Amino acid sequence: MDVVVLGAGVVGTEVIRGILAESGHLSSRIGVPLELKAVVVSNLDKPRDPVIPQELLTTDAETAVDGADIVIELMGGIEPAKTLITRALDRGTSVVTANKALMASHGPGLYAAAEAAGVDLLYEAAVAGAIPIIRPIRDSLAGDHVNRILGIVNGTTNFVLDQMSTQGSSLDEAVAVAQEKGFAETDPSADIDGLDAAAKAAILASLAFHSRVAIDDVATEGIRGITAEDVAWATKNDQVIKLLAAAERTDDGVLVSVQPALIPAEHPLAAVRGAFNAVFVEAGAAGPLMFYGQGAGGKPTSSAVLGDLVTAARHRVLGGRALGESAYAALPVVPAGRALARYQIRMVVDDIPGVLAQVAGLLAARDISIETVIQTEYPTDNTAATLIITTHKALEAELRRTLVEIAALAPVREIVSVLRVERGTGG
């Protein structure tokens, strides 16, 4: 079984290490010898881990792909990954990829090419690294109905928020620590702005609800607006702030979003610390399920890639293929404004009578009811107060419109933050 690896970065190096070090073990599981035939790179002169045999390195991707039984794509990005994967599938070559951006943007076309050729397109490593989540949703829950998914699927933002919570760091300070430890890129925008999590949310929603959901369908808000004060207030109230990827089946279709949210300390996702990931699934018959583990890094991600490699190779030996795209439900993606959720609004107001009545009146005018109100002294100005309002479930579009009106009130100095609020387990 001839294997070609496209890309020799952190993940690619660990996959190559695994193929070479465990060749006997992998071959026994597959039923035929497994041989690494080529490693495609863009620069032959770049220093690399000595585990990669120099004689296997090549820049001729097309020739390498054409000679493979299985192609493992670990280049990342859209191109040339999309062209090379399509080339492999069209030639009847099975493909394993960890490319979340590509699957979230061009999954249907790649699925169609795999279906036409009768080969596998596997991507367990595209979501949550080492955590088995694609296969459980696609295969294990195939006879059930998934109703909702909540996930911490970006280790960088989880590490940053954890640093802010445990160390009292600002966002910028926490990002700097994440960069020092190798959890964040020099430009952390894809993580901090929620784009990485949005790609993963689109993939999970597509699988869970048998519908096509693209990354552009995901309402996305990152964590740039989260302050140390937000985190401290959450801790004081037995809550934590997490960047949640959420996908939910509603009567109108599918709601998919990525946004920071307050979750209670007793929720299983609250205990996910550092750069770890977790996905919480609510299914009709199975009930609540939690998948937890390392969501990034070379070794953890290589575990998922090698698992897909064994599956694809076994199918080539014995026949058959993994389940392909399931989009029979064709549920529409519901606009983000129609999401129904609880929210916490924190604002600074003049410390004078009647402010709460004005704010409550505007909320009531749009059928947004108040669950709790807390008013505290503003620490640096005795003429101001901090007002924290938690709403009952409300339409996001109505809340956003009301916030514009609240911000225009004379006694309201600033709306500091607006965070979605999750309830306990399954909430």
Q: Which residues are catalytic?
A: 200
The CB density around residue 188, as the number of other CB atoms within 10 Å, is 19
The SS3 call for residue 333 is: strand
- Give the whole-angstrom CA distance, residue 109 versus residue 194: 25
Copy the structure tokens of residue 78. Answer: 């859209």
| C-beta separation of 218 from 201 below 8 A | yes
| Sequence letter at residue 311 | T
Backbone angles phi, psi at 394, to 5 degrees: -145, 155
Side chain identity at residue 190, one-letter code: A
**179 φ/ψ sector (left φ>0, alpha ψ -120 to 50, else beta):** alpha
Distance, CA of 221 to CA of 110 (rounded, Å): 28
Q: How many CA atoms lie within 13 A of 277 on its CB side?
A: 28
Q: How many CB atoms lie within 10 A of CB 369?
A: 11
Which structure tokens are listed for 121? Answer: 């397109």
120 contacts 321 by C-beta, under 8 angstroms: yes
Contacts within 8 Å (CB) and 24+ apart, 165-168: 165/231, 165/234, 165/235, 165/240, 165/241, 168/228, 168/232
